[in-house]
Structure 1
Amino acid sequence: MFASICRRRLLRLRQIPSDAGINPSLPNPSDALLSHACSSAALAGFPVSKPCPTTISYLISCGLSPAAASACKRRIRSTAKADAVRALLRTYGYTDADITEVVRRDPSILILDPDRILRPKLDLFASLRVKPRTLATAPTLLTRSLDKHLLPCIQFLRGIIGVDSDVSSAICRAPRALHQADLDKNMRPVVDALRRLGLPDKSISKLLTIDMCVLTISVDRITQIFDDIKALGLGVTDTGFVYGVSRFCRLSRETCLRKVALYRSFGVSEGDLQKAIKRQPTILGFSDESIKKKLRFFLDDLKFELSEVMERPVLIGYSLEKTIIPRCAVISVLMRERKIDPNIKLPWALLGSAKVFSERYVLRHAQDVPDVVKAYEGKIAFEGFRDRDVLVPLKP
């Protein structure tokens, strides 16, 4: 039904002339001016591979910087059509900022026929409730064939994932994957491989919903990822397995091994690392510098035991500057004011969502200790904890 609705819409739209509203037998003044300007630019010595001055000017009017406009190799031969494309995008909810992003990422969108080429695709994504901002970050999707690529791929996803809301979520999380994946070369073989390797259909649906990028890698790489994740102690029925596949498919095998070696260099045992990855596979996805910075803060500044961190690997996923340090500042203020036990189990206290932490430590004490609000907002610097009235300072 989904495909038939889209095809009926497409058939109706194809009845619209390719240049609706423009009489091709009459010259367009702006087109004539642009053509003359481009011809003059070529005669004046402008390389053919570079856009003419009028094209540069038009791209600047779209919000591009002069440097970005000059770097564009596309030549806009019809400003009227380009204007129509921008007008069409606005009718589908694109803001000026979104349109600028579209043009910056793929100026060729401006030369597509707005009614015959773009409108059916915009209708398709609108029917799936894919937000304009998502397409603005991956405008090349609008250059793919509707009949040969978009509709077949989306119909395939719908058969695996299920409801359209989850298909929309999948596209919004990884729009470029829908552009890059080929139905017969990637999507079907990968799904077949996932089934052959023992991943239940429910887990496959979840995996594609959280990360369609898995559909862009080879079957051999998928097999290798399964072997590597199983070697870390995760089974295909474990909750964290699909998250491990998602994380590993975005990293090369060499990068994954380097992350493992980095954790081991801090003294993490193989067993503890396996348990941590099983609980939180995403700990392998952070940059080397981020991992080092967080572990050093926990071990050197907060005096945590390494086992305390690895037993709560979600801590490694928190932002140091935006989450960990502000929470430490709040707890430090409450310790100073004797509102909480100085022997509180700090690793446990730092856990939880922003809402949970705020209700537990900030809102509960905001009236008696106004400084907790300032500390949570970063207006009071964290300088260390008091342990039995002795300040444990941060290292410089």
Structure 2
Amino acid sequence: MFASLCRRRLLLHIRKIPGGGGGTNPLQSILGTIPPARNSYSSSAVADVSNSEPCPDTVSYLISCGLSPTAAAAATTGQRLRICSTDKADAVCALLRHYGFANADIIRTLRSAPSILIVDPERILRPKLDFLASLGFEPRKIATAPFLLARSLDKHLVPSIQFIRGIIGSDDDLRLGISRIPRALMADVDKNMRPVVEALRRCGLTEAAISKLLVIRMGVLMASPDRIREIFEELKAIDMRIPDSRFVYCFSAMWGVKRGTWRRKLELFQSFGVSEGEVLEAFKKQPTIVLLADESIKRKVQFLLDELKLGITDIMLHPVILSYSLDKCILPRCAVLTVLMREGKIQRDIKLLQALLGSSKIFSTRYVLRHADDVPDVVKAYEGKIKFEGFV
């Protein structure tokens, strides 16, 4: 019922706003102008500083909302934030809860954007929350990007959604893409979004490929046309061609790393004893390996080499294994396999890499559910209650 009402309000908004609409946004003037590329407010983004000392009453209120004393002081230091009316602040928090914000979501929102507490909840916040809810935008996602609430609904949020929907088409894909990178909505339609899409077209991407890319990595809308062209050249240099179905995934990953980081990742993988060509082929198969932290890569590769006795060439031929969490996926699966080996349910010379690969559903069906009745320990091992201590 609530979602249906929100959707109707959304349609009314879109119908009455030809090309962006008018109206002012008092919240924007309170929070200041926020650069699209930033993830959270800087102290100067909220207001000009006239008194760098935080207001004790404001700090106390933030603490009562769940922030730690340190976080509350940090959120207000250097900001002209004074909560003169706790009634208004309470009304803001109540409104957020009404829209499904959990306590953790509210804490996260206030840590980044404490000035939200002094705006008019009904006149300023509710219309935007209605709009975001109509899109199926989860509260926890809004909490990661509370600066969206500083944007004008009529001049920015609605036109942005209209433009992106025109590229993607499906509301489900629209919701998925935005949920992955909510801050992409900070990009300006005419200054950022449209030039990016036009650059992608000029470089040869089809409309379907552009739509797919935005669903995968909506943040591309914040790139510059020059960076778009650079990525195309970089992918061309490694012989990744546009018609290849993997191209948009490689493009997405390449956008996510700086040039220096890209080179460092190549050198890191090569340090394990493989050629640059092998690394590039692994990247084409599993582009996200260049987005992993260096320490994560080292830890996983060393585990696979030392504990599973795999060859580095085998790992690079199946790079998807590196995208699995070591603690939450690989180790529990290894624990399950050791239990089954101990009970004689599988051979000790099983091909470990092939056994570990696959979705959770496939692994669970093949090795856990099949043996759960006669070997209950496999369930405990899969849940992490029996730790992996190495293959004997």
Pick aligned residue for 1:315 from 307, 313, 321: 321
Instruction: Identify the residue that residue 143 of structure 2 maps to in structure 1.
Output: 136
Residues 383 and 122 of structure 1: CA distance in aligned 2, closer, same or farther (over 3 Å): closer
Counterpart selection for 1:61 from 43, 59, 64 = 64
C-alpha contact (below 8 Å) 1:232/1:277 kept by paired residues: no
Amino acid in structure 2 at the alignment position of 1:339: K
Q: Which moved more, 1:215-224 or 1:72-81?
A: 72-81
Report the TM-score, using the length of structure 2 for normalisation.
0.84
CA contact (8 A) 1:232 1:278 kept: no
- Aligned pair 1:210/2:205, yes or no? no
- Secondary structure of 1:323's match? helix
Corresponding position: 1:346 with 2:349: no
Work out the CA distance in 2 between the residues paired with 1:8 and 1:195. Answer: 28
CA distance in 1, matches of 2:71, 2:344: 57
For the residue of structure 1 that corresponds to 2:108, the secondary structure is: helix
Deviation digits for residues 69-107 of structure 1, max 9, x if unmatched? Answer: 223122223333222222222222223332222111101
The answer to whether the aligner puts 1:98 opposite 2:98 as a matched pair is: no
State whether residues 81 and 114 of structure 1, in contact with CA within 8 Å, keep that contact through their aligned partners in structure 2: yes
Distance of 2:177 and 2:272 partners within structure 1: 36
- TM-score by length of structure 1 reads 0.83
Alignment match of 1:282 (pick from 268, 288, 302): 288
Distance 1:335 1:324 in 2: 16
Separation in structure 2 between the aligned mates of residue 381 and residue 212 of structure 1, nearest angstrom: 39
For 2:325, give the aligned amino acid: S
Q: Tell me how far apart the structure 2 counterparts of residues 100 and 336 of structure 1 sit (CA, whole Å).
A: 48
Gaps of 5+ in 1: 19-46, 386-390, 392-396
Following TM superposition, by how much is the alpha carbon of 1:191 offset from its aligned partner in structure 2, in angstroms? 0.7
Q: Is the 8 A contact 1:128 1:165 kept in 2?
A: no
Which residue of structure 2 aligns with residue 48 of structure 1?
51
Going from structure 1 to structure 2, the CA distance change for 1:253 and 1:88 (only over 3 Å counts) comes to same
Which stretch has the larger CA shift, 117-126 or 77-86?
77-86
Match of residue 186, structure 1, among 172, 192, 196:
192
Give SS of 1:135's match: helix
Larger Rg: 1
For residue 176 of structure 1, report the CA deviation from its aligned partner. Answer: 1.3
User: Could you give the per-residue CA deviations for residues 273-297 of structure 1, whole angstroms, max 9, x where no partner exists?
Assistant: 2221111100111111111111111
Distance between the aligned counterparts of 1:286 and 1:187, measured in 2?
27
Distance 1:384 1:100, change over 3 A: closer
Determine the C-alpha separation between the residues in 2 that align with 1:366 and 1:216: 49
Q: 1:149 — aligned with what?
A: 156
Q: 1:3 to 1:326 in 2, by over 3 A?
A: closer
What's the CA shift string for 1:201-232, capped at 9, x where partnerless? 11111111122111112111111112222333
Work out the CA distance in 2 between the residues paired with 1:374 and 1:121: 46
- Shift in alpha-carbon separation, 1:197–1:378, aligned structure 2, 3 A: same
CA distance in 2, matches of 1:324, 1:7: 47
> Which sits farther off after the overlay, 167-176 or 270-279?
270-279
C-alpha spacing 1:213/1:261, structure 2 compared with 1 (3 Å): same
Task: Report deviation, 1:195.
Answer: 0.9
What is the rounded CA distance, in whole Å, between the counterparts of 2:205 and 2:285 in structure 1?
A: 18
| Conserved 8 A contact 2:10-2:131 | no
Q: Given that residues 171 and 212 in structure 1 are in contact (C-alpha distance below 8 angstroms), is that contact kept between their aligned partners in structure 2?
A: yes
Match of 2:207 among 179, 194, 201: 201
1:160 is matched with which residue? 167
Find 2:343's aligned residue among 317, 337, 341.
Answer: 337
Q: 1:233, 1:275 within 8 Å by CA — same for their partners in 2?
A: no
Q: 1:339 to 1:216 in 2, by over 3 A?
A: same
2:338 aligned partner, one-letter code: S
Aligned to 2:367: 361
What are the ranges of 5 or more consecutive residues in structure 2 without an aligned counterpart? 1-7, 27-49
Q: Please give the residue correspondences for 1:286-305 in structure 2 after superposition, counting only pairs within 5 Å.
A: 286-305=292-311
% identical aligned pairs: 60
Structure 2 distance, partners of 1:184, 1:116, is 27
> Residues 233 and 278 of structure 1 are in contact (CA less than 8 Å); yes or no, is this contact kept in structure 2?
no
CA RMSD, 1 decimal: 2.3
State the AA in 1 paired with 2:339: V
Instruction: Decide which of 68, 86, 90 is 1:83's aligned counterpart.
Output: 90
Alignment coverage as a number of residue pairs: 352
The farther-off stretch of 151-160 and 106-115 is 106-115
C-alpha contact (below 8 Å) 1:81/1:113 kept by paired residues: yes
Whether the 8 Å contact between 1:9 and 1:120 is mirrored in structure 2 is no
> What is the letter of the counterpart of residue 62 of structure 1?
C
Q: Which residue of 2 aligns with 1:107?
A: 114
Using CA pairs under 8 Å that are at least 6 residues apart, name the structure with larger relative contact order, 1 or 2: 2
Match for residue 267 of structure 1 among 265, 273, 279 = 273
- Residue in 2 aligned with 1:36? none
**Cα distance, 1:8–1:93 mapped onto 2, change above 3 Å:** farther
8 Å Cα contact 2:137-2:175 kept in structure 1: yes
